[in-house]
Structure 1
Amino acid sequence: MTGTHDVLIVPVGSAPDPAPLRELTDVRVVHPDDPALPAALAAADGLVVWDGSSPALERAWEAADPRRLRWVHTSSAGPDRLLFPALRAHPCVLTCSRGVLDTDIAEYVLACVLALLKDLPRTVALQAGHRWLHRGTRSLAGRRALVVGAGSIGTRTAELLAALGVHVDGIVRTPRPAAAPFGSLSGPQSLPEVVGDYDLLLVTAPLSEATRGLVSREVVARMRPATIVVNVGRGPVVDEDALLEALRGGRIGGVALDVWATEPLPADSPWWDLPGALVSPHLAGDAEGFTDRLEELLRAQVRRFAAGEPLHHVIDKTHGYAVAPTVAR
């Protein structure tokens, strides 16, 4: 049945099917380049930003009525692209699609680690050249991994690695006693001191003012010579230039980056042709069926919103991290 809440969907790329949502409440779909966006935003109680973000939303944001707009949802697992200053200051509740992509992203991290340890990029290149070159590779079992960002994605990554005999520790915003699959959970200030104890540095942290540049030039300089680095969090969390120089100079063992400071990665970037680097276009979570799961979560959130129930996967707009379920009032 149709409710009394007006939910505006702004599809930046693809769009969710609005029909099941209209069984729960009033839904309108307006694209970012539609001149009707400011008026639609002014009339909205809830806002869903789907498949990306657009500067058009920030430009239109002054139309958002702080007395009316109570909820904003993003289809992304990380909310950083929506956290422009005016939205941070707005009283609305912000939610994300946390949890939907955890296993797919964790599997991608594992695939990258194994590909680099087992020298698969070189194997593919040798196959393309019809060359038979026997050589040894490295083992995963018995390695030590440090996960930067022990949220839901980082925890799932740690579970997969621990099952294969890897000791896993984590870096979190606030240190706390660890539970399986983590051996320890330390604060970000410890990263430069401890990074040299690990074979794998796996970045799953969201982007915030606290995490920007966290994997700094100093951190890269203190890595073991054979360290493998994987980033599936956000590009600006790591110093890409420092990583590139370290890999090019043979000071680390391999890098896999799925997220970048600039996306798309420019065609003339040196990363494309760098031996020991795996370059991918922000696709770690985009496995088969992921859009169905995102839409299922959205339907559940719209139902909660229409019923006045606490919304899940609420984001602290100051720090960019998930907090307890909250009712959008």
Structure 2
Amino acid sequence: MSGTESPVLAVLCGDKHPPDMEPIEQMAAVRYTDADGLADALRDADALFVYDFLSSAVPDAWHAANRLRWLHIASAGVDPVMFPGLRDSDVVLTNSRGVFDNSIAEYVLGQILAFAKDFARSVKLQSERTWLHRESERIQDRSAVVIGTGPIGRAIARLLRAAGMSVAGAGRTPREGDADFGTVHASGNLGEWIGEYDYVVAVAPLTEQTKGMFDTRAFDAMKDDARFINVGRGELVVTGDLVAALGSGHIAGAALDVFDIEPLPAESPLWTMDNVHVSPHMSGDFVGWRNALVGVFADNFRRWHAGRPLVNIVDKQLGYVPSSG
């Protein structure tokens, strides 16, 4: 930006203000708001920080964004703000790519170990004071395919490979010799190769091409003893098809951190399936993650304020920050 007048920054945050905002407040006129007040906050605002990244309020308030030049969302996924009004505008969109890479990778490794070592059953047996010796699986030399080759997918691949697993990837462009994945399959043809892997990890961004990509055909193509892990978006999965595949034993299990409806409804059969691990959209949320998200925004704000190039600019036609994957 240019000029001497302080910019106006709208912050969509609900009733929980983001931490560590004092330096930004010294550089801009900051308007904190919830969904109901967003339209008023957007009038004559130069930038919008969507701290409440699960909110769906931006499209309905967009008519008031008469001066907006930049929108930053406090998440890696941008689907809550990816609507035609923003896509067709000149507003620059940035995200918080990089904050959750390692913590989500640790979650995925943890879930794989939980399946292999039967931890859930051990906890249940302990609560029953039952001593039942079993044999467990090794993860060394087991195979995984990570669908989504951005920074989170690459962090997952590196950690699983360090644990002794064989790892491949899937993205828009198939190739060999990738530094983190070795083989990268074409994600549009997953039925042709998904059956080769013991673990299928979904971390792809939500786009028109990926929505519902895990359906009956995908689950039918998987190994009967394969496990499915979703740390991407709930809408990547046709939930009814997944429930059917799990219930029939066609796939061995699933670890699910994201769902097409959140919170997961109490009546969902996923809650009570013995071969399902449910967590409440927390795979990336390490202690201090809110401060880290504000740190990413603050760095970009200083760049924007000084007229320097922004980082993590989203290609609004693709729906994510372009990378080699």
User: Per the shorter chain, which TM-score range?
Assistant: over 0.9
Is 1:141 matched with 2:140? yes
Q: Match for 1:39: what amino acid?
A: D
Counterpart secondary structure, 1:168: strand
- Structure 1 residue runs of 4+, over 4 Å off? none
Deviation of the 1:26 alpha carbon = 3.0
Counterpart secondary structure, 1:298: helix
TM-score (norm 1): 0.93
Contact 1:188–1:214 (8 Å) recurs in 2 = no
Q: Across the two proteins, how many residue pairs are aligned to each other?
A: 319
Counterpart secondary structure, 2:321: strand
Range with greater deviation from structure 2 (240-249 or 302-311): 240-249
Q: Which residue of 1 aligns with 2:302?
A: 303
Q: Which residue of 1 aligns with 2:62?
A: 61
Is 1:86 matched with 2:85? yes
Range with greater deviation from structure 2 (238-247 or 277-286): 238-247
Counterpart secondary structure, 2:57: helix
Q: Which residue of 2 aligns with 1:5?
A: 7
Q: Share of identical aligned residues, percent?
A: 42
TM-score (norm 2): 0.94
Counterpart secondary structure, 1:161: helix
Match of 1:33 among 1, 16, 36: 36
Distance 2:54 2:284 in 1: 17
Deviation of the 1:136 alpha carbon = 0.9
Contact 2:148–2:169 (8 Å) recurs in 1 = yes
Contact 2:13–2:32 (8 Å) recurs in 1 = yes
Contact 1:204–1:233 (8 Å) recurs in 2 = yes
> Where does structure 1 lack aligned partners over 5 or more consecutive residues?
325-329
Distance 1:274 1:13 in 2: 35
What do residues 118-140 of structure 1 show as CA deviations (whole Å, max 9, x unaligned)? Answer: 11111111111111111111111
Counterpart secondary structure, 1:184: strand
Q: Which residue of 1 aligns with 2:267?
A: 268
What do residues 208-237 of structure 1 show as CA deviations (whole Å, max 9, x unaligned)? Answer: 101101122111001111101100000111
Q: Which residue of 2 aligns with 1:23?
A: 26
Deviation of the 1:3 alpha carbon = 5.6
Contact 1:94–1:315 (8 Å) recurs in 2 = yes
Contact 1:13–1:52 (8 Å) recurs in 2 = no
Q: Match for 1:15: what amino acid?
A: H
Deviation of the 1:53 alpha carbon = 3.7
Q: Which residue of 1 aligns with 2:52?
A: 51
Contact 1:14–1:50 (8 Å) recurs in 2 = no
**Pairwise CA RMSD:** 1.6
Is 1:204 matched with 2:206? no
